[in-house]
A and B are shown apart, each in its own frame.
Chain A
Amino acid sequence: MTIPAPAVADHSGTPAPKDPETPETVGRSPGQLMWLRFRRDRTGMASAAIVLFFLMVAALAPVISTIYGKDPYTLYGQDVPGLLNEYGYPVLPNGGISSEFWFGIEPNLGRDVFMQLVYGIRTSLLIAAAATVLVTAIGIVMGIVAGYAGGRTDYAIGRLIDITLSFPATLFIIAFMPVVENIFVSPDEETPVWLRAVTLIIMLTAFQWAGIARILRGQVLSLREREFVEAARVTGASPARIVFKELLPNLWTPILIQATLLLPALVTAEAALSFLGVGMIEPIPDWGRMFLRGTQVYQNDITYLMFPGIALVIFVIAFNLLGDSVRDAFDPKIKR
């Protein structure tokens, strides 16, 4: 059961001077109400458009590559003489930006920066999205189980959450990467890309689920005592029914808000790990790796750092704004 939504959606207070023959009182579902409120929020719509743009670029990366006529792997600067000088830096000013290389050329290797950036979104978003889904799923299960079961189960999960949150996560992930490589990869082999990606996703998940689980546990604790849950229990509803039909529908709001805020946090976390040298590896295009390279060459070629930097800032701002708007649309009572 969802808490019933008020039948009148328009609470702006102005009496509607509409045609008296068409009655305006229409029943609307909470989802419809949320969508109505969201559509009125101009900041929310704008940030949603930007987020959508990033997603489209990620999805259409091969198409963009075909139209643009370049790929993220070819070492243009090394193949074509005259693009890089003898120190490996672009000959043209501003990182070698030209009509042919829109965002310039990567120092030394001479790859196309625009293509690196476009394909880089894919890597960063895929890893962050996979981790977000896993974190949310584990967080939901742990939070609901702890909150609903109570007693010893709650105590055990609570301590597990405490310990997870006390782990120095970044340090631990950095330290753990070589361990994984030692276990799964023999010294004379190169680490496969999928192994790095999977390890990153698992490690990010392992340290992030606790936050969302703690929030949901608190929500379930208070919902559990509400009348409608009690009514369901009295009428003999099974625990599964109470969890799925009574509790979960009321938890979607905090879950969705947390997930929207989690994704940009994970994108930056992945970028930070790559910046520290334990994220994605060559030759996979990745924003974090671009940061790492950018901070190595910034004294001679600051332009190379600017593109991933600005792109990430725009992406994170848009996603945070979107998160705020989603929260406002779901829960107009929250004052911000």
Chain B
Amino acid sequence: MLRFLTRRTLGAVITLVIISAVTFFLFFAVPADPARLACGKVCPPELLAQARHNLGLDQPLFAQFTAWLAGIFAGRDYGGLGHCPAPCLGYSFVNQAPVFETILDRLPVTVSLTIGAAVVFLTFGVATGIVAALNQGRPLDKIVSVSSLIGFSLQIYFVGTLALYFLVYQNQILARPQYRPFTEDPLAWAAGLVLPWVVLSIIFTANYTRMTRSTMVEQLGEDYVRTARAKGMTGRSVTLRFALRGTLTTVVTIFGVDLGALIGGAIITETTFGLQGLGRLSINAVTDSDLPVLMATVLVAAGAIIVFNIIVDALYAFIDPRVRLS
């Protein structure tokens, strides 16, 4: 286990450095001068040069990248701007704030959105999948299959906007989606996010239903399930202890992928509902050519995908005793 984690963490760090490097060098093709932003509108050439020097922009590109990388672990000093402590992801002149603070500020929105929706679509998706598998071929199965196919083919920007129109603007059944911190007022937090949760769940549940159903059907035909039945175990314990356990591997895999993708930035969802999470932050960073923020959001998004990948692989061993970590 320890060897597995060490090896995968090392691999993850290397992947992240490569992804950061690709992003960093690509985006230097965009002519946006952070020094000019730092200096202000009326900027004499000497001051501009000073600002460039303070930000390290007069260094060669590669040195700038290594400085950025080192800043994450050791912090960084910006002459005239002060010190940026250890996980330093740079300083954004568009937001007039250290990037790490902005990320921390926006992360709760995206995490709240993801966790709330994930709870709903995971439980509901797996439950409907099991019900469909146990009723294979019957009308209930057909209904579940057809509705999950429709759900699977829906788009957030279409369903979300329809929901906004009919539930918020036309009939005022729900409040306009907004983010209120959980610690301030849990009720307002839930009320503000319930619509995005429901819409995200409609779309994501379908995939879990389909996957759970098909894997469960397969599992119910496995030898060990037959053996368990032959031993005289009841239907319920065969389903729950054997078939469901085998199904979990598939569910955990897609759950890991989905969580990684959502935490990394539910860009479309946040755009549709006007929530200011990481996804919106990254889009704004592109529009404002705010390289430090963009680098940070790419790093967080890639990091989320990779971390959840490792968690999923580690979970396999717990779920399926036949899997050995290597």
A302 to chain B, nearest CB (A): 5
Query: In the complex, A295→B217 CA distance in Å?
Result: 40
- Complex interface bits, A311-336 against B, C-beta within 8 A gives 1, otherwise 0: 01100110011000000000000011
Does B33 have its Cβ within 8 Å of any Cβ on chain A?
no
CB within 8 Å of B: which A84-106 residues: none
* Interface flag for B47 (CB, 8 Å): no
- B31 near A178 with CB under 8 A, answer no
Minimum CB–CB distance for B24 against chain A, Å = 12
How many A-B contacts at CB < 8 Å in the complex?
A: 113
Chain A residues lying within 8 Å of B54, measured Cβ to Cβ, are none
Secondary structure type dominating chain B contacts = helix
Q: Which of A67-75, A169-177, A241-249 contacts B (4 or more CB under 8 A)?
A: A169-177
Q: Is there a chain A Cβ closer than 8 Å to B118's Cβ? A: no
Interface residue A271 (Cβ < 8 Å from any Cβ of B): yes
| Chain B positions within 8 Å of A175 at CB level | 23, 27, 282, 285-286, 294, 298
In this assembly, does B111 line the interface, its C-beta being within 8 Å of a C-beta of chain A? no
**Which chain B residues lie closer than 8 Å to A316 at the CB level?**
153
Docked-complex contact A335 and B218, CB < 8 angstroms: yes
Of B63-71, B82-90, B123-131, B156-164, the stretch lying at the interface with chain A is B156-164
Is the Cβ of B305 less than 8 Å from the Cβ of A168?
Answer: yes
* A312 & B158 in contact (Cβ 8 Å cutoff): yes
Give the bracket for the number of chain B residues in contact with chain A. Answer: 35 or more
Q: At the interface, yes or no: A182 with Cβ under 8 Å from chain B?
A: yes
Q: How far is the CA of A219 from the CA of B149 in the complex (A)?
A: 27
Does A171 lie within 8 Å of B158, measured CB to CB? no
The segment out of A34-42, A122-130, A159-167 that lies at the interface is: A159-167
The complex places the Cα of A79 from the Cα of B130 at a distance, in Å, of: 58
**In the complex, residue of chain B having the shortest beta-carbon distance to the beta carbon of A312:** B155
Contact A335 B157 (CB under 8 A): no
Contacts A174-B283, A183-B29 known; A317 to B153 CB distance under 8 Å? yes
Q: Do B23 and A172 have beta carbons less than 8 Å apart?
A: yes
Q: Is the CB of A298 within 8 A of B165?
A: yes
Chain A 99-117 against B: per-residue CB contact (8 Å), 1 yes, 0 no? 0000000000000000000
Q: Are A179 and B302 in contact (CB-based, < 8 A)?
A: no
Chain A residues with CB under 8 Å of B19's CB are 163, 166-167
B306 and A174 within 8 A (CB): no
Q: Mark B99-119, 1 if CB is under 8 A from A, else 0.
A: 000000000000000000000
- Contact A313:B26 (CB < 8 A) given known A182-B31, A336-B214: no
Tell me how many residues of A have a C-beta within 8 Å of chain B. Answer: 39
* Contact present for A298 and B164 (CB under 8 Å): yes
Query: Whole-angstrom distance from the CB of B141 to the nearest CB of chain A?
Result: 11
Given A309-B162, A321-B149, residue A272 in contact with residue B265 (CB < 8 A)? no
- Assess whether A268 is in contact with B155, with CB atoms less than 8 Å apart: yes
Chain B contacts for A167, CB-based, 8 A: 19, 302
Q: Which residue of A lies closest to B266 (CB)?
A: A170
A272 close to B30 (CB less than 8 A):
no
**B interface residues, Cβ below 8 angstroms from A:** 11, 15, 18-19, 23, 26-27, 29-31, 149-150, 152-155, 157-158, 161-162, 164-165, 169, 214, 217-218, 221, 261, 264-265, 267-268, 271-272, 279, 282-283, 285-286, 289, 294, 297-298, 301-302, 305-306, 309
17 additional A-B pairs beyond A298-B165, A305-B162, beta carbons within 8 Å, are A165-B305, A166-B305, A167-B302, A168-B298, A168-B305, A171-B267, A175-B298, A179-B26, A272-B155, A276-B268, A276-B283, A302-B165, A312-B158, A313-B153, A320-B152, A335-B214, A335-B218
Q: List 16 A-B contacts (CB under 8 A).
A: A168-B264, A170-B265, A170-B267, A171-B297, A175-B282, A179-B27, A179-B29, A182-B31, A264-B153, A272-B157, A295-B157, A299-B169, A313-B150, A317-B149, A335-B217, A336-B217
